[in-house]
Amino acid sequence: MGNHGFNSSVLEQARGARILVAITVHFNPTRVGFLAEVLRSLANFPVAAMDVVLITNTFGEVELELLRRLCDEIFPDRNTSIRSHGDLAHPFDLTWCHKAIIAKEFAGENDGKYTHFIYLEDDIRLDFANFCYFVDFRERLNGAGVLPSFLRVEYSAALNGFVSTDMVAPVNVIEQPHIDIGETVLVNPPNPYTACFILDTRLAGEYVLTRSFERGKSRAVSDMDVRERAAMGLCHENVPKSFQSRYVVPFSKTAGMALNCAWISHLPNNYANDPNIGFGKIRMDSLFVTTSRDHTAAVTEGPGRRTDEAEGQIARRGRNIANKVIEGLRWRLGFKR
């Protein structure tokens, strides 16, 4: 399916989008290749308009010229800009500089110029199918209180396939809160971190009023690293009852795995290639499991329901331990603010 099964109305809406993109670029010459791939993917969006802002920590003219050249080569017909930020209390605070763009240029003074805002770290490749999926399921889940999210993937040469960047154990569809909508089940991922988010104008209006939008207040929402809190979006805001976060990802009953339109590439592949850590070791075709031979019947039982309560309690304890491990490992370099 060249269009990943999206119907014509979804494709029309996605192609009519006018998108403002902000990408955080901690300049490192060894990582510029990742940024180039991120930009090339965005350049292939057949949308009505797209403006791209690179938010960087460099003021060096040689480095800025390199970034300008990349933008000119990849986006010859689109508006791009590079905004350098200095005088930061800590280098990690660069990841929060896009909030002013959301508040002023997207949520505040937009006046119909943009329909969507995309935030990315400079090693996350998001393609047009990912965007179509967001548009599609944002509409389908309207009123459910949850938001369509993504699964970061890497390629593992050792496992000969794509692996989950952020899960350390298989996800049991039945045990996790979920919403059944026919052939697809939207599942709460145990670790919802994605290093990116998408907002429409309504979500942006909500986001700017939340604790997650402000660096200091966001600590009351999550104990993650300051950089990862910057990429939370609305993940932990206004979470529906019985759900662990506001993010859900699509599990196909027919395929028995996550729909690949929700896969986004974590380009460094550093988790898949490091044998000493638990991340990046579960192939995507094994990431989701069910406890029933007939997973179509099993996933319609409702969030968290099982016939064997004792087994369910064991699974929940295991999930809680996994979540704590994930949170701990995410505190990079021992820095938490």
**pLDDT, average across residues 26-49:** 97
Domain shared by 26 and 107, yes or no: yes
CB atoms within 10 A of CB 306: 18
Global pTM value: 0.87
Best CA proximity match to 180, nearest among 252, 242, 257: 252
User: Is the distance from CB of 90 to CB of 57 less than 8 angstroms?
Assistant: no
Higher pLDDT, 333 or 167: 167
**pLDDT, average across residues 114-128:** 98
Domain shared by 214 and 101, yes or no: yes
CB atoms within 10 A of CB 318: 14
**pLDDT, average across residues 198-213:** 98
Query: Rounded distance, CA 121 to CA 102, Å?
Result: 15
> Tokens 């390629």 sit at which residue?
155
Picking from 182, 211, 230, the residue at the C-terminal end of a domain is: 230
**pLDDT, average across residues 220-241:** 96
User: Is the distance from CB of 134 to CB of 45 less than 8 angstroms?
Assistant: no
In degrees and rounded to multiples of 5, residue 320 shows phi and psi of -65, -40
The pLDDT of residue 304 is 38
Domain shared by 52 and 107, yes or no: yes
CB atoms within 10 A of CB 273: 14
Answer whether residue 136 is part of any domain. no
Domain shared by 69 and 104, yes or no: yes
The pLDDT of residue 290 is 85
Answer whether residue 129 is part of any domain. no
Q: 255-288, pLDDT tens digit by residue? A: 999 999 999 999 999 999 999 999 999 999 999 9
Answer whether residue 134 is part of any domain. no
Domain shared by 113 and 242, yes or no: no
Query: Rounded distance, CA 218 to CA 233, Å?
Result: 10
| DSSP-assigned states of every residue in 161-229 | EEEESS-SS-EETTTS-EEEETTEEEE--SS---SEEEEEHHHHHHHTTSGGGSTTGGGGT--S-HHHH
**Residue 180 bridge partners (DSSP):** 185
Q: Are strands 151-156 and 257-258 parallel, antiparallel or unpaired?
A: unpaired
Work out the mean pLDDT of the chain and round it to a whole number: 88
Domain shared by 178 and 96, yes or no: no
Domain shared by 107 and 157, yes or no: no
Picking from 206, 230, 254, the residue at the C-terminal end of a domain is: 230
Domain shared by 118 and 187, yes or no: no
Picking from 181, 205, 230, the residue at the C-terminal end of a domain is: 230
Domain shared by 250 and 224, yes or no: no
Higher pLDDT, 28 or 335: 28
The pLDDT of residue 25 is 98
Number of domains in the chain: 2
Domain containing 46: what range?
1-124+196-230
Domain shared by 168 and 248, yes or no: yes
Instruction: State the CATH number of the domain containing residue 116.
Output: 3.90.550
**pLDDT, average across residues 216-228:** 95
Domain shared by 113 and 257, yes or no: no
Answer whether residue 132 is part of any domain. no
Q: 1-12, pLDDT tens digit by residue? A: 344 689 999 999
Domain shared by 210 and 335, yes or no: no
Query: Rounded distance, CA 79 to CA 250, Å?
Result: 33
Which H or E run includes 335?
A: none
